[in-house]
Amino acid sequence: MHLPKLQNFRQIESIRQCPLCHYSQSNRLIDLEYALFDDSPIDSRMHLSACGHCGFVFYDTVSKEDDFRNFYSNHYFIHAYYSVSHDYQSDTECYSDIAQLLKNYGLSSTSRIVDVGCGKGQLIRSLKHYGFDNITGIELCQDYVKGLKAEGMEAYLGSALDMPIRKEEADLLIYKHIFEHFYDLHSAAKAAYEHIAPGGYLFVAVPDAAFYNSCKEYSSLHYLTIEHINHFDLHHIESLFGTYGLKLENSVTRMLDISEDYPVPIMSCLFSKPINPEAVELKPNFELAENMIHWLETSDSLSNKELENLQKSQREIFVWGLSYRTAMYLAMSPLKDCNIKAFIDIDPRKQEKTLLNKNVISPDILNSLNDDITIVIGVGPSSRAMMEQLRNQGFKGDIIRLL
């Protein structure tokens, strides 16, 4: 890829206005594509763009907010092949650091803490372990809410825009890995501001786009997954909440192994809500956009010799494990032109779908495959364990594990 410097780009009219400053023109950095299920409500093409006014990096897309709402409610399938009874070591260390940070800023066992988008409640359990007893989870997934309630935890069905708590009730609102997904950033940020008590705090964790090039084993493309439609650096996340008078108190970025062999730069920020908030004017900053142009030009692509050989030979293959990072391989690497017999995934919801007009079948088929078959294991939190399972059951065909 040969990408010109940002000043050489011709600004174009955006399909989606900048979610940070609402400017209508942007600099398109690179076009991305993903292989999604055939009935996906969102478009498979995303245009990585930098706002022409403030420099914020985001996906310009024809998909609308309702399309993404449908996607997250009915099509966002995240499922680890092997459920684990413990968190990754990096998660455990991160939870400990969060608890210590909160204590340093005066939050205690009686502080009203609300985790928005709490998922299965890993962070809630951890904070309870560290002595924070007055904590509530809010989650879109009804099954997760039922599970948390069955454990005796306080949890409610809701969202960032529909919180089942009173305004100015929370001493601390937590948004962990949420804001990178929001189509409408300001509605979510405004709702957060309104529900924090004066003198309270906001904790936000998002991927830090300023460090997308820090892991040399991966192309920067690996961090451009389809569901992360906003790409923050510290300047722009501080600008978003500064618009509402929230003050940045603390920030740290660390590489977290959120799955096997896949370190992701996570930026954790703590904002305070002053008794008398004063909004801060957004200042343009194009440093991240300029860096991304350089990274995308110099990074290795998604191609590798094994995939190129499969493409040339047209040997029959099965693809096992359908993650959103695998979706990029299926659209932007030689894998898209390989002779794929079928897709394999343990998630029964995915087995009801088709992908590239091919069926998604159960891993039970792995017990009956011939040794002349090649299995490509997709990118995911259990890919190494999946490879070991194949070897342990005596599979003698070729195995290619994507990273």
Residue 325 shares a structural domain with residue 267: no
Q: Two tokens at 22?
A: 């609402």
Query: In the chain, pLDDT over 90 holds for what percent of residues?
Result: 76
Which residue in the block uniquely carries the two structure tokens 């260390």?
93
pTM of the full structure:
0.92
Residue 106 shares a structural domain with residue 70: no
CA angle 25, 31, 13 (to 5 degrees): 15
Residue 390 domain-assigned (yes or no): yes
Whole-angstrom CA distances from 85 to 88, 144, 321 are 10, 16, 21
Residue 199 domain-assigned (yes or no): yes
Q: Which helix (H) or strand (E) holds 256?
A: strand 247-259
Residue by residue, DSSP assigns 287-356 as: HHHHHHHHHHHHS--S--HHHHHHHHHT-EEEEE---HHHHHHHHHSGGGGSEEEEEE-S-TTGGG-EET
Q: Which residues contact 222 (CB under 8 A, 6 or more apart)?
A: 302, 325, 328
Residue 132 shares a structural domain with residue 255: yes
Check if the beta carbon of residue 159 is closer than 8 Å to that of residue 182. no
| 323-335 confidence digits (pLDDT tens) | 988 999 999 999 9
| Domain total of the chain | 3
Closest to 331 in 3D by CA, of 57, 14, 46, 74: 46
Q: What is the pLDDT along the chain (403 residues), one digit of tens a residue?
A: 444 566 666 789 999 999 999 999 999 999 999 999 999 999 999 999 999 999 999 999 999 999 998 998 888 876 544 444 345 555 777 899 999 999 999 999 999 999 999 988 999 999 999 999 999 999 988 889 999 999 999 999 999 999 999 999 999 999 999 999 999 999 999 999 999 999 999 999 999 999 999 877 778 888 999 999 999 999 999 999 999 999 999 999 998 875 556 788 999 999 999 999 999 999 999 999 999 999 988 877 788 899 999 999 999 999 999 998 899 999 999 999 999 999 999 999 999 999 999 999 999 999 888 888 999 999 887 888 899 999 898 898 999 999 8
- As a whole number, the mean pLDDT across the chain is 91
Whole-angstrom CA distances from 86 to 26, 90, 150 are 43, 11, 19
Residue 295 domain-assigned (yes or no): no
Residue 12 shares a structural domain with residue 67: yes
Residue 51 shares a structural domain with residue 100: no
Residue 209 shares a structural domain with residue 108: yes
Check if the beta carbon of residue 145 is closer than 8 Å to that of residue 155. yes
Q: Which domain holds residue 246?
A: 89-280
CATH number at residue 397: 3.40.50.720
Residue type, 378: G
Distance separating the N- and C-terminal Cα atoms of the chain: 21
Residue 257 shares a structural domain with residue 113: yes
Q: Which helix (H) or strand (E) holds 385?
A: helix 383-392
Q: Which helix (H) or strand (E) holds 156?
A: strand 154-157
Residue 285 domain-assigned (yes or no): no
Residue 300 domain-assigned (yes or no): no
